[in-house]
Amino acid sequence: MKQARLFRIRGKVQGVNYRLFSKTCADALGVTGWIANKDDGSVEAHAEGAADQLEEFAFDLSRGARYARVEAVDSEEAELQELEGFEIRR
């Protein structure tokens, strides 16, 4: 059953290819959605997929890109948007 989660990632996650890393992980897992930088320095991601896909994606988000320093990943249930693919938003 498809689910949706909204993730907020805090730490050093802008300017370190974090969004590209996350898209690569999402594509590999078959997760759809989007990821975007926020004005406060955090990153927000909307992800849709099966529970196990979203769990693995959350793990990837917590580990982060090579030069990222993830301090926290918060998540909450979100409404399904039935998105196709995973995109990087500005």
Active site residues: 19, 37
Tokens at 46, concatenated: 């909307």
When the candidates are 3.20.20.120, 3.30.70.100, 3.30.1330.10, 1.10.10.10, the CATH number that belongs to 3-81 is 3.30.70.100
Kind plus residue range of the DSSP H or E element containing 8: strand 3-12
Contact of 3 with 51, CB cutoff 8 Å = yes
Across 20-29, average pLDDT: 98
- Evaluate if residue 13 carries a pLDDT over 90: yes
Q: What percent of the chain has pLDDT over 90?
A: 97
Q: What does the pLDDT read at residue 27?
A: 98
Ordered DSSP codes for 31-87: -EEEEEE-TTS-EEEEEEE-HHHHHHHHHHHHH--TT-EEEEEEEEE-------SEE
